[in-house]
Chain A
Amino acid sequence: MRALTWHGRHDVRVETVPDPEVINPRDAILRVTSTAICGSDLHLYDGYIPTLRAGDVLGHEFMGEVVETGPKSTLKKGQRVVVPFTISCGDCFFCKKQQYSACDNSNPAETFDASRLLMGHPMGAAFGYAHLTGGYAGGQAEYVRVPYSDVGPIVVPDHVEDDEVLFLSDILPTGWMGAENAEIEEGDTVAVWGCGPVGLFAIQSAKIMGAHRVIAIDHYPRRLELAKQMGAEILDYREVDVREALDEMTGGIGPDACIDCVGMESHGLTIDNIADTLKAHTFLGTERPHALRQMIMACRKGGRISIPGVYGGFADKFPLGQMMEKGLTLKQGQTHVQKYTKPLLDMIEQGKIDTTFLISHRAPLEQAAEMYRHWHDEQDSYTKIVLKTEMAMPRQAQKEQQHELA
């Protein structure tokens, strides 16, 4: 099959690799129909995540058609499913508490020691990410092996298009959980740093959860425009001092909740960020948490900080005292995707969430390497890229054509 493989910093290639096979009884094999490039794929592309190996197949946002099932899979051949990026067994202590991304079985015995050493406890597994998270091949490929297929994948009805439900795999639940962790109350002003796909979904989710106002912060005009389209007030940090603007917009108290949809590769020419960038490039540090520092300073006393953005290790110059003295609550974590897929699918079907407004480009899987370059270099115009294994017509059009032929 054809698949996108990682070979080093800024070096990804579409090449031919062996097809996946059913290994365990609960496995299923999918023929991927749509897959997206995620913001967190850029951390891999930039070489910031350790334990990735040359030849690894990337991709953790994908959906497709079931083509093969193990004896204990509950899926049926021909079903269309969206697959959560988190690989979760559904049986362990954590999965039973719906803390799916903390699954204690999915990271295999051969790989779990590395994250145990780095994080204190072994991390749950994910598709197409580093070997810290299990080293499973990802879905930017024609076919993919899906473990625990009886608990992860969600079957989608025929009348919805791929593009409407594809983001149930990661960014939609991630934005939703980001807003949920902000514990939004009536009358709240919520500030969202970063208007990438997760930020845009966090804005939409915060509105649905009853935020009185949402203020979005970024520096890409096109992304800020999309944020405005979702009902946010916008701040371009090149134009205004963000903290002063937030204070002035909230009567001097600051936002009630702040959501970090930026993560470890913060932009911006500030002294702390330049120092962090230098350290990251000389392997003296992993984090560039400029946005998070700013958030802690900006948040109102007794407010909440929610972090869906990805961080990988140790940060310094972290305003710990400020966090304590202001009495802030921090909530974060990899998304417990399986907890949210069903209710979010219902909301998509009811037309309550717009899931396609952010897609700027669609391209065949064969052009994936080129698309990574655009995604990395042209973040203003490339707001979300969806790759199609076959650049087929939309499903509805296909059906109509089949109907005509019949």
Chain B
Amino acid sequence: MAEQSSSTTTKAIIGAGLAAAAGTAAFLLSRRTGSGGAPVEGISDAPDHVWRRGSDRYDANLLGNTVMIGRTPQELYDEWRDFTRFPRFMENVEKVEKLDDKSSHWTIKAPGGTSVEVVTRISEDKPGKAIAWASQPDSDIQTEGRVDFIEAPPGRGTYVRLLMRYDPPGGMIGKGIAKLMQREPKIQSRRDLRRFKSLMETGEIATNASPSGRKSETPTEPRI
């Protein structure tokens, strides 16, 4: 009886071990293919920037965020079309100067208190629908951006989708440092879009600036 029960226990342990090994293998495999055995040709109706590594439409340098804003596509397009307004809601954009109707000169904050200069030119302009821009060859960094104003379901305004393609300065290490300093573009663009939404819906940008018992802070600066 005791022998039988011990052999049952052994079998259970072996079984559990096999299950764990199979699970680990499946996990590693799914990490490699990114989609746990998804078909080679993609079928998902999702935008390009959410596709997993290894899947059909994956693009390592593309990042994007979408936010719903309770205004019409045209109103939002009109606000966005004037690039000189970017510093109001884009935290790392210090200044944008208009060069001509399609070109502008951007000063962008970079890690370590430095800044980079970029000249961009509008490459696509569909009033009320989309604006795309790209950096010109003599810029400090190469970047491309695109914003789409997509009509949301009735009564919900607009889905504003910001897509960016960029070469991080300093390659992977630069990307790591930028991420540590929270200037990683994905986080940055999510926050910038949040500020844009706040501005367009409420007429101001939400801030928690208020008193605290911390000597290092003033009641007029945001507290992170």
Contact = CB atoms under 8 A, between A and B. Distances in A.
Contacts of B206: 24, 89, 105-109, 125, 134, 147
B120 to A, nearest CB: 23
B127 to A, nearest CB: 25
Nearest to A128: B210
Nearest to A22: B220
A105 B213 contact: no
Interface string B202-223: 1111111111111001111011
A17 B212 contact: yes
A250 B194 CA distance: 51
A72 interface: yes
B197 interface: yes
A21 B219 contact: yes
A104 interface: yes
Interface in B176-224: 187, 190-192, 194-195, 197-198, 201-214, 217-220, 222-224
A176 interface: no
Interface of A: 1, 3, 5, 7, 13, 15, 17-21, 23-26, 53-57, 72, 89-93, 96, 104-113, 125, 131, 134-137, 141, 144-145, 147-148
Q: Chain B interface residue count: which class?
A: 20 to 34
A36 to B, nearest CB: 19
Nearest to B218: A18
Contact of A113 (B68, B187, B192, B211): B187
A13 to B, nearest CB: 8
B214 A54 contact: yes
Contacts of A26: 202-204
Interface of B: 68, 70, 91, 156-157, 187, 190-192, 194-195, 197-198, 201-214, 217-220, 222-224
A398 B159 CA distance: 55
Given A26-B204, A113-B191, 16 more contacts: A17-B211, A18-B219, A20-B211, A23-B220, A25-B203, A25-B204, A54-B213, A57-B210, A92-B70, A105-B198, A108-B208, A109-B91, A111-B208, A134-B208, A145-B209, A147-B206
28 contacts: A1-B211, A3-B211, A13-B213, A17-B213, A19-B211, A20-B210, A26-B204, A53-B212, A54-B213, A54-B214, A55-B217, A56-B213, A72-B204, A89-B201, A89-B206, A91-B70, A93-B68, A93-B70, A93-B157, A107-B206, A109-B198, A109-B205, A110-B207, A110-B224, A111-B208, A125-B208, A135-B223, A145-B209
Contacts of B212: 5, 17, 53, 55-57, 137
B213 A15 contact: yes
A58 to B, nearest CB: 11
Contacts of B208: 108, 110-111, 125, 134-137
Contact of B211 (A18, A25, A107): A18
A20 B70 contact: no
CB-based closest 6 A-B pairs:
A55-B213, A137-B210, A55-B214, A5-B213, A109-B191, A24-B204
A145 B220 CA distance: 11
A5 B210 CA distance: 13
Nearest to A134: B208
B203 A105 contact: no
A111 B219 CA distance: 16
- Residue of A25, A106, A108, A145 contacting most chain B CB atoms (<10 Å): A108
A105 B211 contact: no
B219 A24 contact: no
A131 B211 CA distance: 14
A92 B206 CA distance: 13
B198 A57 contact: no
B50 to A, nearest CB: 16
B197 A104 contact: yes
Given A105-B197, A108-B208, A110-B191, A72 B203 contact: yes
Given A19-B211, A20-B210, A109-B195, A148 B202 contact: yes
Contact of B70 (A5, A53, A96): A96
Given A26-B202, A26-B203, A112 B194 contact: yes
B211 A24 contact: no
Contacts of A3: 211, 213
Interface centre among B202, B219, B220 (most CB of A within 10 A): B202
Contact of A91 (B201, B209, B211, B217): B201
User: Which has the most chain A C-beta neighbours within 10 Å: B198, B207, B211, B219?
Assistant: B211
A21 B207 CA distance: 12
B192 to A, nearest CB: 8
A110 B211 contact: no
Nearest to A135: B208
A236 to B, nearest CB: 41
A72 B212 CA distance: 25
A23 B201 CA distance: 18
A147 B194 CA distance: 17
A337 B5 CA distance: 61
Contacts of A104: 197
A160 B195 CA distance: 40
A56 B219 CA distance: 12
A168 to B, nearest CB: 22
B19 to A, nearest CB: 22
Given A17-B213, A93-B70, A111 B202 contact: no
Contacts of B219: 18-21, 137, 145
Given A110-B224, A113-B187, A136 B214 contact: no
B213 A57 contact: yes
